[in-house]
A and B are shown apart, each in its own frame.
Chain A
């Protein structure tokens, strides 16, 4: 560790010679905060903490790229275990690692090779970590393949964002994110500066929900191999196995769906049902290759380095990449949704000071924009009510009948965080929302811009 922090080259050479050229010399196409000096790298190494979310195709690349871009304090979170089908791109894993937690193996491999870097792995779900965990990072790098997980982390990062009295985002509270995504030869890389550039939720339309086949097509007029497979998977399985849940990771279950689909296809004269295609449809497998992951992660890492050091202008703010036909890149400057529930100043709720916490939770569930059910409530890091785990639920249950105003130490207005579930596209997903609570009839409320309550 000590060795990597030295900046002098000496006769033995300086490991970071190339990086230091960019960090020690002034330039004109740089970030506004760039302060080139021989100490910049050691500051980067000492003070900047980066969280990598996901240790898959992008995550492996991100960890390597960040470690070789001067970052020393890294943590990685991933709930998955290594599978054989990861090995064509997740280069930190070997055949003998199959079955082990991705985060742990990835962290170990990078630490073995890049002396001085420290990577803390977290083998768990992203929802298992509390806000304090996420708050200790300066930058969050996302290497995920699901819209829900991106949405969740985005909301977490945005809860830390504070607005001043003029509704301007406070820079110190901003938690920048770099987000990558790939599918085959295509991908995207983006920079999210909450409050300044659009957050994930502002541009959620970029990720349209997956189109599902109508059940009547599956049942009555199948035409394609996918229809036959989804019939076996979604209809026939339940008919035959009544109640026994289908497990896509159980090869016997998959084999059953495949043979049922093949039978149906033959009956209707439909070609194209294979075992591999069945897996693809049932598990919604997204094709993935090493090169695209490398490209997208590199773009994200470069932006993270720029955010942390200011050594060059940052990308504004969304890169789309397509390597299918020739090579196309495009940078689009998306704009924020001024009414965004996630990165805006927060949804305004005007309450009577007598409103109990129980009533407040009900209001949040019924609120037309929020519709957040099973809400847990925190105020300034203090748990007012927690739905889980049972121990915490029991400890906080007595608060339910107390007025929220009192639980919030009688401040006339403040930000409250609620976590719960929302229904999106017929799917329950975890969500975090920031609320601006104002108590009616209490002094100090008059200066609040109640018209700007989105």
Chain B
């Protein structure tokens, strides 16, 4: 067996060859390789992405060794991007690892088209801003000692001298470049993930216009069995089987799907076409199933009782699918993606051949049955799925023709896959980061913050406010709160006032932020703990994999890591 297949065996069982091929084609760009960014890339390199490009203009300092595994003693003084890149390359020689020794801010400012070569950009916080300020403050005595430090201080003082620091505010620049990067990536259709660790908290946020998923692979999803709405072939098959057979071996090998279709039909005939809906009716229905048993060991009937709730599965499509087929993107033209062309065909199918239903999935779960009966039943479901697929395919081809595209430009396999997953397709959309910053829609936050009775503020929401507060604090004071032991006491009320101002801006006037949490935020002093970075980096890499493979559903909203009681939250903002 080929080595890569074995190497990736445990993940191929999750995202398959297609998912792996997508990863191997992907090129990832990392901005700033502190522990959060380095850990993110580590997980992606292990998984076998095509290439990584690490962008960081800073040099390794002693402090970096306390939280970044990619760096060691020999790295001190060298380019951080180069060192991190070298370690990552060691992890997987199938990955092309590159680095650019430049500050991400400068690159965003001077060379925006640079980013269009990537599949996905991971933006993490710049640590060096923190270090620079710190170093500057103790600069006087460090100036003529440590060589590296000297260089750093000199370059920093130069910046200062040129007035860039004081006039613009170094931190505002950082925030401004993130917003600029978001605009660049959206324009070029590059996926962006922001990840940040700060003390015992952190944040992960995806930004792109739209992400569509065919293979959402949900954990629990009701089988598509159509027990209360059998199509003619299934009905005929059920009719061909006699539930009253006296042969005990045959009786206990009738698959529960057949048992349920038949008993549900009997029930509906006795109840003017309705299926069991109330609790009593559902109980009576189960009793009816049990009454047909002729021996105690009939597993098929036990399965029928357990699966009897499937009789009450709502007919027609789910509300989320309804929303998708009525989305404005369904009015397709030559610029539409394959996904939306297929959604257009799906919508037509549901309104016509489907009689209000999506194409049949075509697979059935395992159930007690004779082999022959099970295989025949499986064929009936497969045949219906195939017929539905052909109808959808025809509609896809004619839509493609109508919008001036080559009718065969979407492959049979893609359409088949789409049909098999039609009930589970998902569309994720993300607001520009700037919009979230300026006018967050805060239903969850408001709910907690404006509740007079709720004196206890959920920690995750508090952290979100405070993460924004430390940035605003930094814009005002040119450093994060709590960096210096001596100023800790002054910083706490300052941060509290800043957080309160943010709450006021958000229209959450009546709320008081949890005092203890603000104190804690000052205590962190901008620290990046390795364990927090590993968690946040883990989440960021997981989301990157979901976006690149187009499998599973990426998170929508802003993920706030809560390292205090581990009650992390996804805020819809």
A326 CA / B217 CA spacing, docked (Å): 12
B568 beta carbon closer than 8 Å to chain A: yes
Is B145 part of the contact surface with A, judged by Cβ < 8 Å?
A: yes
Q: Which of B62, B523, B565 meets A21, CB within 8 Å?
A: B523
Q: Are B48 and A88 neighbours in the complex by a CB distance under 8 Å?
A: yes
Q: Which residues of A contact B488 (CB under 8 A)?
A: 25
Residues of A within 8 Å of B527, CB to CB, are 17-19, 21-22
| A29 touches B (CB below 8 Å) | yes
The residues in A between 208 and 231 inclusive whose CB is less than 8 angstroms from any CB of B are 217, 221-224
A350 to B474, CA, bound (A): 69
Once bound together, how far apart are the Cα atoms of A12 and B568, in whole Å?
A: 37
Q: A285-B13, A287-B10 are in contact. Are A88 and B542 (CB under 8 A)?
A: no
Question: Across the interface, do A222 and B371 meet the contact criterion of CB distance under 8 Å?
Answer: yes
Among A18, A88, A294, point to the contact of B66 (Cβ < 8 A): A18
Give residues 309-324 of A contacting B (CB, 8 Å).
Answer: 312-313, 315-316, 319, 322-324
When the two chains form their complex, are residues B538 and A84 in contact, meaning their CB atoms are under 8 A apart? no
Given known A11-B141, A223-B374, A327-B555, contact A27–B531 (CB-CB < 8 A):
no
Taking each of A18, A222, A315, A322, which has the highest tally of chain B beta carbons within 10 Å of its own beta carbon?
A18
- Cα A298 to Cα B40 in complex, Å, equals 13
Provide the residues of chain A in CB contact with B553, threshold 8 Å. Answer: 324-326
Say yes or no: is B564 at the interface (Cβ < 8 Å to chain A): yes
The answer to whether B566 touches A27, judged by C-beta atoms less than 8 angstroms apart, is: no
Contact with B along A329-355 (1 / 0, CB 8 A): 101000000000000000000000000
Report if B125 contacts A (CB, 8 A). Answer: no
Query: Is there an interface contact between B555 and A287, defined as CB atoms closer than 8 Å?
Result: no
Task: Tell me whether A245 is interfacial, beta carbon within 8 Å.
Answer: no
Question: Is A44 in contact with chain B by the CB < 8 A criterion?
Answer: no
Identify the closest chain A residue to B48 (Cβ).
A88
Query: A29-B520, A294-B39, A302-B532 are contacts. A14–B3 as well, Cβ < 8 Å?
Result: no
B10 to A292, Cβ gap below 8 A?
no
With both chains docked as a complex, state the minimum distance between the C-beta of B438 and any C-beta of chain A, in angstroms: 25
Q: Nearest chain B CB to A305's CB is how many angstroms away? A: 7
Contacts A29-B517, A298-B534, A319-B566; is A325 near B218 (CB within 8 Å)? yes
A268 contacts B371, CB within 8 Å? Answer: yes
In the bound assembly, the distance between CA atoms of A327 and B47 in angstroms comes to 20
| Complexed CA–CA distance, A17 and B485 (Å) | 12
Tell me if A185 counts as interface (CB < 8 A to partner B): yes
For chain B residues 181-231, which have a beta carbon within 8 Å of chain A? 199-200, 216-219
**Chain B residues within 8 Å of A269, by CB:** 375
A253 at the binding interface (Cβ < 8 Å)? no
Which residue on chain A has the smallest CB distance to residue B460? A329
Q: Return the chain A residue nearest B541 by Cβ.
A: A291
B318 to chain A, nearest CB (A): 14
Residues of A within 8 A of B512 (CB): none
List, in ascending order, chain A residues with CB within 8 A of B200's CB.
Answer: 22, 302, 312
Question: 1/0 per position for A50-74, CB-CB distance to B under 8 A?
Answer: 0000000000010011001100000
In the assembled complex, the Cα of A11 lies from the Cα of B146 at a distance in Å of 7
B117 to nearest A CB, angstroms?
A: 24
- The answer to whether B14 touches A289 (Cβ under 8 A) is yes
CB distance from A296 to the nearest CB of B (A): 8
Q: Considering the chains assembled together, what is the distance between the CA atoms of A13 and B374 in angstroms?
A: 70
Taking the complex as formed, is B516 at the interface, i.e. its CB lies under 8 A from any CB of chain A?
yes
Check: A112 CB closer than 8 A to any chain B CB.
yes
Determine whether the beta carbon of A14 is less than 8 Å from that of B529: no
Q: Is B62 a contact of A22 with CB atoms below 8 Å?
A: no
Chain B interface residues toward A at CB < 8 A: 1, 3, 6-14, 39, 42-43, 46-48, 61-63, 65-69, 72-73, 90-92, 141-142, 145-146, 149, 199-200, 216-219, 253, 366-371, 374-375, 482, 485, 488, 515-517, 519-520, 523-525, 527-532, 534-535, 537-539, 541-543, 545, 552-556, 559, 563-570
7 new A-B pairs (CB below 8 Å) besides A223-B375, A325-B216, A327-B570?
A: A27-B523, A28-B516, A114-B65, A221-B371, A223-B369, A294-B535, A295-B542
